[in-house]
Amino acid sequence: MFIRMVFEMNTQMNKIFPTHVYAETLHVGNGTVLNNALIKIDNARFSEIRSGISLDDIPKQTITSPVVAPGFIDLQINGARDVQFTDTPTVNAVEAIVLGARAGGAAYVLPTFTTAPGDQYVEALCAVKAAQDAGIKGILGMHLEGPFLSPKRPGIHAKQNIRPMLQLDVDKLKSSSVGTLLITLAPECQDNGILEQLIAAGIIVFAGHSEAKSSDIKDAASKGLRGATHLFNAMSQMSAREPGLVGSVLGSPQLFAGVIADGHHVDWSNIGIAAKLKPNHLCLVTDSMCSLEGTKTTFEIHGKEISLLAGKLTDKNGTLAGAHISLDNCVRNVIEHCDVAPELAIKMVTLNPATALGLESDLGQIKLGLRASMTLLSRKFESNAVIVEGECFR
């Protein structure tokens, strides 16, 4: 709970723009922790950061919070507030995802569009761009997960819609103007030259839903592959004589990885191992569906009925279908179950994902000159409010 909240108001727009934020404990984002820190905001940027400040000496127009961190970043979220982006690729759906994620501490999201027939992803890209143009804060771009996957590792994706990427797809994706575009694909299923074209265009490419061998990942990494989507899930596993995608990522000094810390997708010990091996490259993601901050306990994905039971989303065969978890809950989980220090858990939702997207010079840390985006937390790491580029959302 906040100690005190006194805001500077823009009454015409009914928006809240604090000039200062006071943190009893400040997680800078790079592993550094400061106590009794006062953060000043000017023109939606961090302009001053001082620690060791008495609560009695703070300005009147200051938000105070037990714990403050850089604005959380979710690289993979499929839906929220009863809306699934793949089913409804609209501005309203994007906004629902932003609001649902924000309730769990996410300042920024990549709305995720999953496998659909043909080039329906173009409609999703247009919706994200329209939402950005409408001034909805917190949309970094879009995550396209499929249809360019391996039919051997479909997960819950509709297998009949999975296909290789064509040159026409490359041209459409290169013309996107959503900002950051992250594409999950199976590199072993794509033609020569596809990866290079995407990466040369500034598109972030992760491997996922893939049967890739270590040789495939080594080759893809040499071309600019950036990471892997939902590590351990829907991918080739590590064995005695073949590292697979899992082993290749864990052994790589350069590849990032998202991981779903909900207690259903990955064993806690495996997440702990990944955190120890990749403290600067592991990113917590929610992979959440429309049930997040919603009322639905059943819904459909490509004709399959999905049910929410005890925090777990599955079809009738028990196949996992995304997740039902907020980003602050992921943070709490890895601290409690995976022996991850709080400062590292915070890094896994701030600086690590920002760096994975190439945005570390603007996001992911509370540092002079960077965007003034913060997640305000209780001592138990429960989100109380989010500040996005100087604007406070509660």
Catalytic residues: 287
Four-CA torsion 287, 265, 118, 296, nearest 10 degrees: -60
In sequence order, the 6+-apart residues with CB closer than 8 A to the CB of 337 are: 261, 263, 268, 271, 272
Strand extents, DSSP E, 148-260 = 180-185, 204-207, 227-228, 256-260
List the structure tokens of 92: 């309203």
Q: What backbone phi and psi angles, to 5 degrees, belong to 296? A: -75, 135
- The answer to whether 173 touches 128, Cβ cutoff 8 Å, is no
Q: 348 and 282 in contact (C-beta within 8 Å)? A: yes
Looking at the DSSP bridge assignments, the partners of residue 205 are 183
Hey, what are 99's tokens?
């609001």
Give residues with Cβ within 8 angstroms of 117, minimum separation 6. 147, 161
Exposure string over 102-135, b if 16+ CB within 10 A, otherwise e: bbbbbbbbbbbbbbbeeeebbebbbbbbebbeee
